[in-house]
Structure 1
Amino acid sequence: MELAKLPFYAKISCILISLICFGYIFYIGNDIITPVLMAFLFAILLVPIFTFLNTKLKLPRYFAAITCVLLFVAFILGILAFISYEVTDMANDFETIKKNANSFIIDIHKFIKAKFNISIWEQKRYIGNVAKDSVKNGSGTIGSAIMTISDLLLESTIIPIYIFLFLLYKDHFTLFLSKLINKENHSVLKDILSQIKISINNYIISLILEMVIVSVLTSFGLWIIGVKYFILLGLITGILNLIPYIGILIAGVITLLASLTGSGETSIILGILIVNIIVQLIDNNILVPLIINSKVEINAFVSIIGIIVGGASAGISGMFLAIPLLAILKIIFDRIESLEPWGYLLGNDMPKNFAWRIRKTRSQTK
Structure 2
Amino acid sequence: MMSTIKFPFYIRLTFMVISMIGITYILYMGKSVLIPILMAFMIAVLILPIVDFLNSKLRLPNGLSATIAIILFLTVIIGILAFLSYEISDIGKDFAVIRKNINIFIIDIQHYIRSNFNISLWDQRKYIEDVTQDSFKKGKETIGTTLLSFANAILDLTLIPIYTFLILLYRTHFMVFLAKLFKKEYHTKLQEILRQIKGSIQSYISGLIFEMIAVSILTSIGLFFIGVKYFILLGIITGILNLIPYLGILIAGVLTVLSSLTGTPEVSLIVGVIVVNVFVQLIDNNILVPLIINTKVKINAFVSIIGIIIGGQIGGIAGMFLAIPVLAIIKIVFDKIDTAEPWGYLMGDNLPKAFKWRTNKSLQ
Question: What TM-score bracket applies, with the shorter chain setting the length?
Answer: over 0.9
- The alpha-carbon deviation at position 117 of structure 1 amounts to 1.1
Which residue in the other structure is 1:139 paired with?
140
Partners of 2:4 and 2:305 in 1: CA distance = 30
> Is the contact made by 1:188 and 1:335 (CA closer than 8 Å) also made in structure 2?
yes
- The alpha-carbon deviation at position 149 of structure 1 amounts to 1.4
Amino acid in the other structure paired with 1:118: I
Partners of 2:216 and 2:316 in 1: CA distance = 24
Q: Does 1:299 align with 2:300?
A: yes
- The alpha-carbon deviation at position 144 of structure 1 amounts to 2.1
- The alpha-carbon deviation at position 353 of structure 1 amounts to 2.4
Amino acid in the other structure paired with 2:13: I
Structure 1 segment 84-233 matched on structure 2, within 5 A = 84-233=85-234
Which residue in the other structure is 2:262 paired with?
261
Amino acid in the other structure paired with 1:55: S
Structure 1 segment 240-279 matched on structure 2, within 5 A = 240-279=241-280
Deviates more, 1:120-129 or 1:222-231: 120-129
Deviations 1:288-325 (A, max 9, x none): 00110011000000000000000011000000000000
Q: Does 1:63 align with 2:64?
A: yes
Partners of 2:139 and 2:279 in 1: CA distance = 37
Partners of 2:10 and 2:260 in 1: CA distance = 59
Which residue in the other structure is 1:8 paired with?
9
Partners of 1:25 and 1:156 in 2: CA distance = 22
Deviations 1:170-198 (A, max 9, x none): 00000000000111000000000000000
Partners of 2:197 and 2:64 in 1: CA distance = 25
Structure 1 residues 313 and 4, CA gap change in structure 2 (3 angstroms): farther
Partners of 1:14 and 1:3 in 2: CA distance = 16
Deviations 1:200-251 (A, max 9, x none): 0000000000000000000000000000110000000000000001100000
- The alpha-carbon deviation at position 148 of structure 1 amounts to 2.1
Structure 1 residues 291 and 4, CA gap change in structure 2 (3 angstroms): farther
Partners of 1:64 and 1:364 in 2: CA distance = 66
Which residue in the other structure is 2:291 paired with?
290
Which residue in the other structure is 1:79 paired with?
80
Which residue in the other structure is 2:50 paired with?
49
- The alpha-carbon deviation at position 3 of structure 1 amounts to 7.9
> Is the contact made by 1:215 and 1:237 (CA closer than 8 Å) also made in structure 2?
yes
Amino acid in the other structure paired with 2:59: K
Q: Secondary structure at the match of 2:261?
A: helix
Q: Secondary structure at the match of 1:310?
A: helix
Partners of 1:305 and 1:52 in 2: CA distance = 38
Which residue in the other structure is 1:316 paired with?
317
> Is the contact made by 1:296 and 1:327 (CA closer than 8 Å) also made in structure 2?
yes
- Give aligned pairs, total: 363
Amino acid in the other structure paired with 2:334: F
Q: Secondary structure at the match of 1:137?
A: helix
Partners of 1:28 and 1:3 in 2: CA distance = 34
Amino acid in the other structure paired with 2:107: I
Which residue in the other structure is 1:37 paired with?
38
> Is the contact made by 1:206 and 1:292 (CA closer than 8 Å) also made in structure 2?
yes
Q: Secondary structure at the match of 1:186?
A: helix
Structure 1 residues 226 and 177, CA gap change in structure 2 (3 angstroms): same
CA-based RMSD of the aligned residues comes to: 1.6
Q: Secondary structure at the match of 2:350?
A: coil
Structure 1 residues 174 and 13, CA gap change in structure 2 (3 angstroms): same
Structure 1 residues 159 and 8, CA gap change in structure 2 (3 angstroms): same
- The alpha-carbon deviation at position 140 of structure 1 amounts to 2.0
Which residue in the other structure is 2:21 paired with?
20
Partners of 1:277 and 1:135 in 2: CA distance = 32
Amino acid in the other structure paired with 2:340: L
- The alpha-carbon deviation at position 62 of structure 1 amounts to 1.2
Amino acid in the other structure paired with 1:199: S
> Is the contact made by 1:302 and 1:346 (CA closer than 8 Å) also made in structure 2?
yes
Give ranges in structure 1 of 5+ residues lacking alignment. none
Amino acid in the other structure paired with 1:334: D
Amino acid in the other structure paired with 2:141: G
Structure 1 residues 4 and 328, CA gap change in structure 2 (3 angstroms): farther
> Is the contact made by 1:3 and 1:11 (CA closer than 8 Å) also made in structure 2?
no
- The alpha-carbon deviation at position 364 of structure 1 amounts to 11
Partners of 1:237 and 1:364 in 2: CA distance = 62
> Is the contact made by 1:3 and 1:338 (CA closer than 8 Å) also made in structure 2?
no
- The alpha-carbon deviation at position 135 of structure 1 amounts to 2.4
Q: Give the percent of matched residue pairs that are identical in Structure 1 and Structure 2.
A: 57
Partners of 1:212 and 1:86 in 2: CA distance = 18
Amino acid in the other structure paired with 2:146: A
Amino acid in the other structure paired with 1:7: P
TM-score when scaled to structure 1? Answer: 0.96
- The alpha-carbon deviation at position 365 of structure 1 amounts to 10
Q: Secondary structure at the match of 1:354?
A: coil
Partners of 1:100 and 1:183 in 2: CA distance = 70
Structure 1 residues 3 and 159, CA gap change in structure 2 (3 angstroms): farther
Deviates more, 1:254-263 or 1:345-354: 345-354
